[in-house]
Chains A and B, each alone.
Chain A
Amino acid sequence: MSDAPTHDADEFEPVDVFETTEMDLRPGADDCYKCSTCDTSCPVAEVDDEFPGPKFQGPEQWRLKRTEGHEIDDSITSCSNCMRCDDACPSSVPLSQMHNTARGEYVENQRFGREALSALADGNLREALDIVREGQDGLVERLRNRILANYHTSAWLASFMPSVANFVMNFGPARWAMAKTMGVTSEREFPEFADQTFREWWAARGGAQVSNPDKRIAYFHGCYSNFNTPEVGKAMVRVYEEFGYEVLVPPQKCSGTPMFANGMLGDARRHAETNVKNLAAAIENGAEIVASCTSCSMALGQEYPELFDLDGIEDVAAHTYEGVEYLRLHEDLEGALDETSVDGSEFAYHAPCHARNQGLDTQAVELFSDLDGVAIEDVGDSCSGISGTYGWKEEKYDYSMEIGEEMFEHMEHAAGETGMTECPTCAMQMEHGTGYEIRHPLELLEEALVTGS
């Protein structure tokens, strides 16, 4: 007998043979058989010939960086995190998780950040200065990305003086300066800030109007419904109260979506800690979590457990729904819509990329097709092109519009002159490309079931 340690066959895990890292994506990389289908469904690769596509960004880059001296390629910052590659992969390679992880590592490794600080801490002022000077271009971009990713902070500030903010944010010279110094495109109108945020409205009405320990949901409104489109949040509350639900509105921060897309995993994690703590408490309290933004529900339901290891995070993921989805599964929504009607409206509906992997891309059209007074048409399965912060970047704006071209055309061809989508930034892009007013499915539900008849 040798002295080698013996393994109990039942306890032996082959993966233990390899040195483990904090996030071991090896099984995912091994599942890729390089069929390249992901590359053909990537909207960025479609228009940006410099972008090597999701297969490279995911499994190939993961393998490359196992080797000493290989750093994450700059091109990772061109991935817009639309997550369409996930839906395309026949082998369930966790592509978007790999992209998010790589992007986080890329940002973390930018020399002028962490290394300059550590050089300073070591008392090497000259080296710290060199690092910052060498990385100056990237520094501005990093700052810009950080500001875009932390939209909730700007919006929170703006909410104190919304009319001033609305003026300043779209004031020509200010926008010119932002484009020149920060690389935020001046082609787009900043979304308007509401005079009263959703949370202010919620507090002013005295919170929940229905109390029901048996039917309880916790509303994750996200930044946009709170600061920019509180009408979506109000519609959500009124529709759920109509069905007898007690609505909780737990304290919450940004879902993290724009932070993932910009590699700001540290920021995202801090926000996730607050969200998971409060949402897990709501679940304890008998509530299911419902979001009105499909990127928020995507973050809570998929990216959270993929990227962070927090108490209760799996539970939060397994209890998260989108606003219309939850009602559809738990109420006779079709029956309720059968008995009502709305004044003639025609919609051009666009399914957000983040609705797709959640299986929600056909839900609005299915549901509203039979509603009296409504005509709704799907404008096709292309990406809107804005992908959150992607289309706000000066260097990405043209690509963003090129990706969106197919959707704009289909919207123009559709009979409806009003757009509909669940995603706030898709809505921005739809409005920007066509001038249409854009509504959320929950607003139509409100009209049909609460205010209309």
Chain B
Amino acid sequence: MAIEDDVCVIGGGLAGMTAALRAAREGARVRLLSHKKSTLRHASGLVDILGYADGELVADPFDALPSLPETHPYRRVGDDAVRAGLSLFDDVTGDAYRGTHTDANALVATHGGTVKPTARYPTRVAPGLASQDRKTLLVGFDSLTAFDAPLAADHLAAAGVPGATRGVTVAFPGDFRADSRVTRSARALDDDETVEIANGSMPVRRALVRAVESHLGDAERIGFPAVLGEEESQEVRNALESALGIDVFEVPMGPPSLLGLGLETLFQEALAEAGVRRTTGNPVVEFDADDGRIRSVSTDRNGRPTPFHADEFVLATGGLVGKGIDSDREGVVEPVFDCHVPHPDDRYEWFDDEAFGDHPFARFGVTVDDDLRPLDAAGGTEYDNLRAAGSVLGGADFAAEKSGSGISLATGHAAGRAAGAAANQ
């Protein structure tokens, strides 16, 4: 008789998990389908709402929302949905995140030495805010080439951060592989493993303190790449802080990102608690519809379909990067339901000639009504019981705006609530 649920969410990123969680809180039986492990492990772990509008740095995203174009996803769902999405996030993350005390953006230093305006940031990152006028030492590890601390410090200085910032590269203590994984050093610090150093052996936390203390100088805080523990990060930072006598913070890193993994774990726990059923491993490729309603979607495994039935569906498959929007020389498509994706016929109008120009393709995605239901080319709804959330939505250039997580939270929340409520009727 097949697998049946009230709400079926397609996509396991931030938007999909938020939608599933919100729908479950409406009392619906929810299934979350995802092709692979959550993409949150590729995310920095920072949660932005709106960092830039018209290329200008935004101090308070909520002040700037009304100035966004009508077609922007934030305008579709409204300010209240943005706040509601953020509040759900705060509820899921609790003590692990900071930033709830203000609407204003915080400025967080990234591993490239840029400053990112962001609404919520991990507690592990908090002592390092770039807006604070404190002398800062950044420490990189020679085996971790993704973070060049001296270069990042130079970039931050060039960006004009208030506190003086120096960078130094040291060897991570112990005899680890040159291409050792970030999780390996994190685990060593979690367990405070004994490591071999030049003359003898000692616990790795102490060895790390030894390796950096001669570089401290007059630094008032010290930043490491975000590899300081996976399960016991608080304990690791506490131990380093008490030995070094100054604040210790972590710098968000690219994939595989421990901060992203931590966020993924928090959401997974919330989903399990809410009773969301998860099926992972195969992509959704087809659907069945009649009478203007989706009846089921099917995953594919080497040519074998597995159908999942539900009353309401949420499409949260991501944008051009996440493959929720696809393109070839002929056009731009949304591959699961073939929802209409507006784009110029002439391929040469999809992009700007400047690499960092204002590219139309960055805004490609499905267009939706106020209930987040995708619209067809004529402006009618594609399906009564299909809603879309996250980067599959068009109208926002999330990379330029720094708005990706916020859009996922706001539209995931709105789509999940609407789908859950509709399923209950």
Residues of A in contact with B (beta carbons under 8 Å apart): 35-37, 39-41, 45-46, 49, 52-53, 56, 87-90, 92, 301-302, 305, 314, 317-321, 325, 328-335, 356-362, 366
Residues A87 and B255 in contact, CB atoms below 8 Å apart? no
B278 touches A35 (CB 8 A): no
Determine how close the nearest CB of chain A comes to the CB of B85; give it in whole angstroms.
24
Chain B 172-193 interface 0/1 with A at a Cβ cutoff of 8 Å (1 = within) = 0000110111111001000000
A90 to B264, alpha carbons, bound, how many Å?
Answer: 15
Q: Is the CB of B184 within 8 A of A49?
A: yes
**B residues in contact with A87, CB < 8 Å:** 36-37, 280-281
- Does B256 lie within 8 Å of A359, measured CB to CB? no
Please choose the segment from B150-158, B160-168, B302-310, B349-357 that sits at the chain A interface, where 4 or more of its residues have CB less than 8 A away. Answer: B302-310
The answer on a CB contact under 8 Å between A320 and B281 is: no
A52 & B281 in contact (Cβ 8 Å cutoff)? no
Q: Bits for B27-45, please: 1 = Cβ < 8 Å to A, else 0.
A: 0000000001101011000
Answer whether residue B206 sits at the interface, using C-beta atoms and an 8 A cutoff.
no
Assess the A356–B306 pair: CB atoms within 8 A.
Answer: no
**Chain A contacts of B1 at CB under 8 A?**
330-335
Closest to B183 in A: A40
A334 to B1 Cα, complex, angstroms: 9
Taking the closest CB of chain B, its distance from the CB of A290, in whole angstroms, is: 12
**Pick the contact of A35 from B256, B301, B307 — CB < 8 Å?**
B256
A250 CB to closest chain B CB, in angstroms?
19
Question: Which residue from chain A places its CB closest to the CB of B300 in the assembled complex?
Answer: A318
Q: Decide: A40 near B182, CB < 8 A? Known: A328-B3, A362-B277, A366-B277.
A: yes
A48 to B348, CA, bound (A): 50
Contact status A318-B182, CB under 8 Å: no
Residue of A nearest to B307 (CB): A329
For the complex, give the distance between the alpha carbons of A88 and B41 in Å.
Answer: 10
B181 contacts A36, C-beta separation under 8 Å: yes
Instruction: Provide a sorted-by-A list of 27 A–B residue pairs whose CB atoms are within 8 angstroms.
Output: A35-B42, A35-B255, A36-B182, A36-B256, A37-B256, A40-B41, A45-B181, A46-B183, A49-B176, A52-B177, A52-B179, A53-B181, A314-B302, A317-B304, A318-B303, A319-B304, A329-B3, A330-B1, A331-B1, A332-B1, A358-B282, A359-B279, A359-B280, A359-B282, A359-B299, A359-B301, A360-B281
Please encode chain B, from 92 to 115, with 1 for each CB lying within 8 Å of some chain A CB and 0 for all others. 000000000000000000000000
Chain B residues near A321 (CB, 8 Å)? 304
Give B336 Cβ to nearest chain A Cβ, in Å.
Answer: 16
Q: What residue in chain B is nearest A325 (Cβ atoms)?
A: B306
User: Given A362-B278, A362-B279, do A329 and B2 touch, yes or no (CB 8 Å)?
Assistant: yes
Q: Using Cβ atoms and an 8 Å threshold, which residues of chain A touch B282? A: 357-359
Chain B residues with Cβ below 8 Å from A318 are 302-304
Does the CB pair B181–A40 fall under 8 Å?
A: yes
Q: How close is B119's CB to chain A, nearest CB, in angstroms?
A: 25
Which residues does chain A contribute within 8 Å of B41, judged by CB atoms? 37, 40
Nearest B residue (CB) for A318: B303
Give the residues in chain B near A358, CB-CB below 8 Å.
281-282, 301
Task: Considering the complex, give the chain A residue whose CB is closest to the CB of B181.
Answer: A39
Contact for B42 among A90, A330, A359, CB less than 8 A: A90
List, in ascending order, chain B residues with CB within 8 A of A330's CB: 1-2
In the bound complex, CA of A361 to CA of B282 (Å):
12
Contact partners of B302 in chain A: CB under 8 A: 301-302, 305, 314, 317-318
Task: Name the residue on A nearest B230 (C-beta).
Answer: A40
CA distance A361 to B37 in the complex (A): 13
Which residues from chain A contact B280 at a C-beta distance below 8 Å?
87, 356, 359, 361
**Among A40, A52, A53, A56: residue with most chain B CB under 10 A:** A40
Contact of A89 among B36, B184, B279 (CB under 8 A): B36
A378 and chain B: residue at smallest CB distance: B272
CB-nearest residue of chain B relative to A39?
A: B181
A359 to B281, CA, bound (A): 5
A445: min CB distance to chain B, Å? 15
Which residues on A sit within 8 Å (CB–CB) of B177? 49, 52
Contact of B304 among A36, A56, A301 (CB under 8 A): A301
Q: How many Å from the CB of A330 to the closest CB on chain B?
A: 8
Min distance, Cβ B22 to any Cβ of chain A, angstroms: 20
User: Whole-angstrom distance from the CB of B180 to the nearest CB of chain A?
Assistant: 8
Q: Chain B's nearest CB lies how many Å from the CB of A152?
A: 24
